[in-house]
Amino acid sequence: MHWQWCKPLIETCLKYQEEWDILDVKRGIATGKLMLWPHPNQQSCIVTELVDFPQYRAMNLLFLAGNMSDCEDILEAVTTFARIAECKKIFGGGRKGWQRYATRHGFKQEHIISKTL
């Protein structure tokens, strides 16, 4: 199964945030809340979720793990699926260095602020 080789890749991503742990991700995939998009070479994967806002549906790119070139390949399938699922947009957050890759695929930079309580 894909989870066995995707798990360590996703765990690397989890180090950069505190909203999810690996059990949350596994449970989300098992229940269908999250979607796992493995690359055929078994070295990269993407985890997404559909988000239903009051005015539209969107695809959230939660984790891009592994080789960026592979993730760009996977993003084509994610985009196709998002269109079929009637998403108005695809969004995601990440470290500043991801911006140059995102721009190549039509993403624009937006800003999120947060405050730990």
**Per-residue pLDDT tens for 70-109?**
999 999 999 999 999 999 999 988 766 666 676 676 677 7
The fraction of the chain above a pLDDT of 90, given in percent, is: 71
Token pair, residue 101, equals 């890759």
Q: What CATH number was assigned to the domain covering residues 2-104?
A: 3.40.630.30
Residue 42 falls in which region: left (phi positive, over 0), alpha (psi -120 to 50) or beta = left
**Could you report the per-residue pLDDT of 38-63, keeping only the tens digit for each?**
999 999 999 999 999 999 999 999 99
CA separation for the pair 103, 83 (Å, rounded)? 19
Q: How many residues does the chain have?
A: 117
Is pLDDT above 80 for 69? yes
Q: What does the pLDDT read at residue 100?
A: 67
pTM of this prediction?
A: 0.88
Contact 86, 117 (CB under 8 A): no
Count CB neighbours of 86 within 10 A: 9
Is pLDDT above 70 for 24? yes
